[in-house]
Structure 1
């Protein structure tokens, strides 16, 4: 006689045709590819020497029960290595323990985030049974000699320089719960600041990691947070970590009874926490409700904190209904908690980036992926790159036409500090024929479009965040 597995039946596979973010330029790729001496149109800049890496959701098997973009999907890191005007490409899955079990089974074993389903011991063994699936699919960064694929709120996975997976990274056990996908590195000190939200008390913590990869501040609770709340990104100034707490809460009771795991409660307003980096009480501000996926940067100015971010009326893709957005500058008064908001640019835009050498300091340029409004596009798809000048208030746009473009990342010219001396790089995929490209735009004249592009011999799905890692710092 055998004992029946107590796990409930697995939910059925999703109907891929009903989920736009599993089709077209988002459709997952299964093959891991290596390609050298890519065909280059025009000529790659001689000073562009390094590797551009980008992570993103790429389900290996058809998801079970539900699929919420951009919060789930197996991680796949795409790399573009550049040197001597030549380019090579490779992509690799981030091979988590759960993905290895699914590879053995030849199908998905874990349910989508909104289903709450996890496989039993008979399918995945005692260590993984009942555990949520690790999803290091959002960002990829390098710090302290480690190349890290980052999840929404979990331990990152360490990769080799050739993108093979080494395993979970807890920094010697000092960060057992991990971090979220958007740490920030202070370019003056080399210190990385991280935060992590949790489903049980203390709900929200922050920590720091030295430039050598050693944790210098252990996970420290953020006082004043009394329920689990989702926070995707952060910002950093010389004095503060800046955390935006919009009213998107985790509701485990509702999820267990068949409801939604995430609850949007706009009547609560949005809070902003200024966490003193040197220690001390958290400084809180409370303002009208808005949602923020991504910050661009923050800095201290005349005792105030200036925070640039993409503001939305609600978290689109999670909460039904239209969501209006734009690039916003907030001035926060730490002593009184007053928040003054100024909309810099209006429209559908996301994935804001600056020159990372200016994190925590005043910045002149913000680059974003955007929608022109000329084409019907689903959430997460963009047909333009915007470049906003914070001094003049002017915006330059490059219309990418049929190319679905990703997050722009700045690659500075070695040995220079001028923000016009360098390039914005990204991946792009043609919606009509599936051809993918690596694009290089001049930072001095980004509105003129790519000065060079390399043809990638496999499709690169739309993804999320990445890094430029120069050979010469």
Structure 2
């Protein structure tokens, strides 16, 4: 049976390629001097993974400089899993969720294993364990504090210790390792940091060895959902708040408001949304046409003094892959960007910009049979939204892809620039803009 994550926008490419001197329509801004890298699952020809998340990682990259798109290339992350190793060795990673820069290294991430270092040309260097100090898996969603440059990350496990917290210096040296007591065997895909706190998600998708997809987690009505807030300084003591049943794959941002309350925002799934999405991820009967169904923008506000939490729905669109200006990560942000999927009164695919101060939104529809990926913000001024959004669009009608450069101040405008790619890039997961200065 054909799986939905091997069809349509997600059809894998069969090989690696390099192209130079790409065609640009419009004008690439001079601030764009670096690499846009995007990771995603791309199993080898003839391989059918049992779950979308188990497909081998492939990184697609573009080098931009001086108004030119110098090259495009795509490379599999060469790990033991690429050649069929399904052992529990931390090096047997599919490395297909995210790709970041830290300490001058490019790292491909997948949360059940060690990160993999890549060269600036996307060749695989090998597993990276921070000089032997990382002895567990590493989340695919680390958070770099924009003020200190420290990288905060964690490992979670269905077996004790369920949660381990790490901090790495800007140079890439782990200087803090803490077991966080009180967490359970839940699927902890992401977390949040604020200026003074760390936010942990202990929600009702939990380890279940009966799950046969290869990702052994299921929704459990019996599991009490909680979100924990922990000071960044001192002993790892968590204040846990009971919340309404829901799942959160991706935190848009977390911050402290003017009253000192901790605010967390992101697309929240109820049980129906989660289970419908999961059916697509495993190719089970009853799945919808898209991998993400029913997740809507949500806010949790935690009053640490009163010990209470308030929850609110911010919008009814089905959205995922939220991003912000990461120069303000962990600090109050007004604008969030995301991919809007069909649903909630919206048809087709769009990039959406939310203004959380006014409750308004802007939509940039992609057009018939065109699907954008996560929109990565690149700053180009002092204002929070002064900059550009980079997103790769899969175009099924023309069997091709483009990199769009959108003006983040108003995503409804025509793209500032469009880079024509030499092939259709499968819809993927997460990516990063890595300026040349970060790789020196």
TM-score greater than 0.5 by the shorter chain: yes
Asked whether 1:94 is paired with 2:77, we answer yes
Equivalent residues in 2 for 1:125-144 (5 A)? 133-144=92-103
1:266 alignment partner, SS class: coil
1:409 maps to 376
1:349 maps to 319
Contact 1:286-1:337 within 8 A present in 2 as well: no
**Shift in Å, 1:133:** 4.2
**Shift in Å, 1:185:** 0.5
**Shift in Å, 1:341:** 1.1
Cα distance in 1 for partners of 2:155, 2:329 equals: 20
Q: Do the aligned partners of residues 338 and 52 (structure 1) sit closer, same or farther apart at CA in structure 2, a change above 3 Å counting?
A: same
Asked whether 1:392 is paired with 2:358, we answer yes
Larger Rg: 1
Contact 1:44-1:85 within 8 A present in 2 as well: yes
1:163 maps to 122
**Shift in Å, 1:221:** 1.6
Equivalent residues in 2 for 1:210-249 (5 A)? 210-218=169-177, 220-226=178-184, 228-249=185-206
Q: Structure 2 residue aligned with 1:271, among 226, 239, 248? A: 226
2:282 maps to none
* Partner deviation per Cα, 1:345-382 (whole Å, 9 max, x = no partner): 112110000001000101121000012549999xxxx7
| Long gaps (5+) in structure 1 | 1-14, 103-108, 111-117, 119-127
Equivalent residues in 2 for 1:57-96 (5 A)? 57-64=41-48, 67-69=50-52, 71-87=53-69, 88-96=71-79
| Long gaps (5+) in structure 2 | 280-285
**Shift in Å, 1:131:** 8.3
1:330 alignment partner, SS class: strand
Q: Structure 2 residue aligned with 1:44, among 7, 18, 28? A: 28
Cα distance in 1 for partners of 2:164, 2:379 equals: 33
Contact 1:310-1:349 within 8 A present in 2 as well: yes
1:424 alignment partner, SS class: strand
**Shift in Å, 1:420:** 3.3
Cα distance in 1 for partners of 2:382, 2:346 equals: 39
**Shift in Å, 1:63:** 3.6
Q: Do the aligned partners of residues 225 and 139 (structure 1) sit closer, same or farther apart at CA in structure 2, a change above 3 Å counting?
A: same
Asked whether 1:383 is paired with 2:349, we answer yes
2:40 alignment partner, SS class: coil
Equivalent residues in 2 for 1:323-472 (5 A)? 324-373=294-343, 383-402=349-368, 403-413=370-380, 416-472=381-437
**Shift in Å, 1:418:** 1.4
Cα distance in 2 for partners of 1:35, 1:148 equals: 23
* Partner deviation per Cα, 1:11-60 (whole Å, 9 max, x = no partner): xxxx32xx221111101112211111111112212222211111011111
2:377 alignment partner, SS class: strand
The CA RMSD over aligned residues, in Å, is: 2.4
Equivalent residues in 2 for 1:110-149 (5 A)? 118=86, 133-149=92-108
2:428 alignment partner, SS class: coil
**Shift in Å, 1:171:** 0.4
Q: Do the aligned partners of residues 233 and 405 (structure 1) sit closer, same or farther apart at CA in structure 2, a change above 3 Å counting?
A: same
